[in-house]
A and B are shown apart, each in its own frame.
Chain A
């Protein structure tokens, strides 16, 4: 398991290097990037904040759960903090397995669970102000 919370740019290559293995024929990657439009409004940038020690613990739990549930060989899970511009990478997930199907399923499981439990928050900035996403109904 390679779980990291980082204040600097993430590396897809570093994640690939961690999970690649001669016995694994399937590598699957998910990269989450900052898009310029949310619910019809133009977004200028995002700020990510994390409760770091607990975020790393929760990310590790998810990586271990995915490995055990889908029989993955390795998981890399890297998430950004700080100010991100449009097009920047917020999260990278890389997984490896002997065959492709567990790799696809594991990758999807990890991003879905991350969005439910990991204590990371994002503030969205628009031309007319900012707000914390998901906070209010």
Chain B
């Protein structure tokens, strides 16, 4: 079980600041995105969402490792 941190509208969708998904280690970021869409279809209604892995934007091909800090980044709106 890995915890994924949620901000902004992602926190509203998850119902709290973290959500948990099973068996992510070794899977790609693209697979994580699919798992998220399956567990929380409301992510599919957003303009977009990115995944941050260890404080950097993660590409779809990256593999998730145990101990990674994973964060859902919904469309940003700074400034």
By a beta-carbon cutoff of 8 Å, the part of chain A in contact with chain B is 32, 48-51, 53-55, 57, 79, 90-91, 111, 114-123, 132-137
Q: Which residues of A contact B45 (CB under 8 A)?
A: 136
Q: A45 to B41, alpha carbons, bound, how many Å?
A: 30
Also in contact, A123 and B79, with CB within 8 A (given A51-B73, A54-B56, A135-B46): no
Q: Which residues of A contact B30 (CB under 8 A)?
A: none
Contact A114–B79 (Cβ < 8 Å): yes
Q: A49 to B73, alpha carbons, bound, how many Å?
A: 12
Q: List 7 A-B contacts (CB under 8 A).
A: A79-B78, A91-B79, A116-B76, A119-B52, A120-B76, A121-B78, A135-B9
Q: Tally the A-B contacts, defined by beta carbons under 8 Å.
A: 77
Most chain A CB within 10 A, of B46, B55, B56, is at B55
Q: How far is the CB of B58 from chain A (nearest CB, A)?
A: 11
Contact B76–A132 (Cβ < 8 Å): no
Contact B55–A53 (Cβ < 8 Å): yes
Looking at chain B's contact residues, the main secondary structure is loop
Q: Which residues of B contact A91 (CB under 8 A)?
A: 78-79
Contact B55–A134 (Cβ < 8 Å): no
Name the one of A55, A57, A120, A137 contacting B77, with C-beta atoms under 8 angstroms.
A120
Q: Which residues of A contact B9 (CB under 8 A)?
A: 121, 132, 135-136
Q: How far is the CB of B48 from chain A (nearest CB, A)?
A: 9
Q: Which residues of B contact A55 (CB under 8 A)?
A: 78
Q: Which residues of A contact B56 (CB under 8 A)?
A: 54, 57
Name the one of B52, B57, B71, B77 contacting A121, with C-beta atoms under 8 angstroms.
B77
Contact B8–A115 (Cβ < 8 Å): no
Contact A135–B74 (Cβ < 8 Å): yes
